[in-house]
Amino acid sequence: MVFGIGILGAFAVQLCRIAGAFPVIAADLNAKRRKLAIELGADY
Protein backbone atom coordinates (compact mmCIF):
# COMPACT_ATOMS: atom_id res chain seq x y z
CA MET A 1 0.00 0.00 0.00
CA VAL A 2 1.33 3.40 -0.98
CA PHE A 3 0.17 6.48 0.94
CA GLY A 4 0.51 9.76 -0.96
CA ILE A 5 1.01 9.78 -4.71
CA GLY A 6 3.59 12.50 -5.11
CA ILE A 7 6.90 11.96 -6.87
CA LEU A 8 8.06 9.20 -4.52
CA GLY A 9 4.63 7.62 -4.23
CA ALA A 10 4.28 7.40 -8.02
CA PHE A 11 7.73 5.79 -8.19
CA ALA A 12 6.76 3.35 -5.43
CA VAL A 13 3.61 2.30 -7.32
CA GLN A 14 5.65 1.53 -10.43
CA LEU A 15 8.35 -0.27 -8.44
CA CYS A 16 5.77 -2.43 -6.66
CA ARG A 17 4.18 -3.37 -9.98
CA ILE A 18 7.56 -4.26 -11.53
CA ALA A 19 8.48 -6.33 -8.46
CA GLY A 20 5.29 -8.35 -8.89
CA ALA A 21 3.35 -7.13 -5.86
CA PHE A 22 -0.39 -7.80 -5.95
CA PRO A 23 -2.52 -5.96 -5.20
CA VAL A 24 -0.91 -2.54 -5.40
CA ILE A 25 -3.11 -0.16 -3.40
CA ALA A 26 -2.59 3.59 -3.63
CA ALA A 27 -4.16 6.15 -1.28
CA ASP A 28 -4.30 9.92 -1.73
CA LEU A 29 -6.84 12.63 -0.93
CA ASN A 30 -6.46 14.18 -4.39
CA ALA A 31 -8.64 12.50 -7.05
CA LYS A 32 -6.24 13.39 -9.87
CA ARG A 33 -3.36 11.70 -8.07
CA ARG A 34 -5.48 8.60 -7.42
CA LYS A 35 -6.25 8.47 -11.14
CA LEU A 36 -2.53 8.83 -11.90
CA ALA A 37 -1.76 5.93 -9.58
CA ILE A 38 -4.21 3.71 -11.48
CA GLU A 39 -2.59 4.74 -14.77
CA LEU A 40 0.84 3.86 -13.33
CA GLY A 41 -0.27 0.36 -12.36
CA ALA A 42 -2.08 0.50 -9.03
CA ASP A 43 -4.98 -1.94 -8.68
CA TYR A 44 -7.00 0.24 -6.29
How many structural domains are present in the chain? 1
Share of the chain above pLDDT 70, in %: 100
pTM, two decimal places: 0.89
Q: How many residues are present in the chain?
A: 44
Give the per-residue pLDDT at 17.
Answer: 97
| 30 touches 11 (CB < 8 A) | no
Q: Half-sphere exposure of residue 24, counting CA atoms within 13 Å on the CB side?
A: 22
Give the per-residue pLDDT at 30.
Answer: 98
Tell me the average pLDDT of the chain.
98
Q: For 11-35, what is the mean pLDDT?
A: 98
Give the per-residue pLDDT at 38.
Answer: 98
Q: For 9-16, what is the mean pLDDT?
A: 98
Can you give the residue range of the structural domain that contains 10? 2-40
Q: Is the dihedral of CA 39, 3, 13, 24 positive or negative?
A: negative
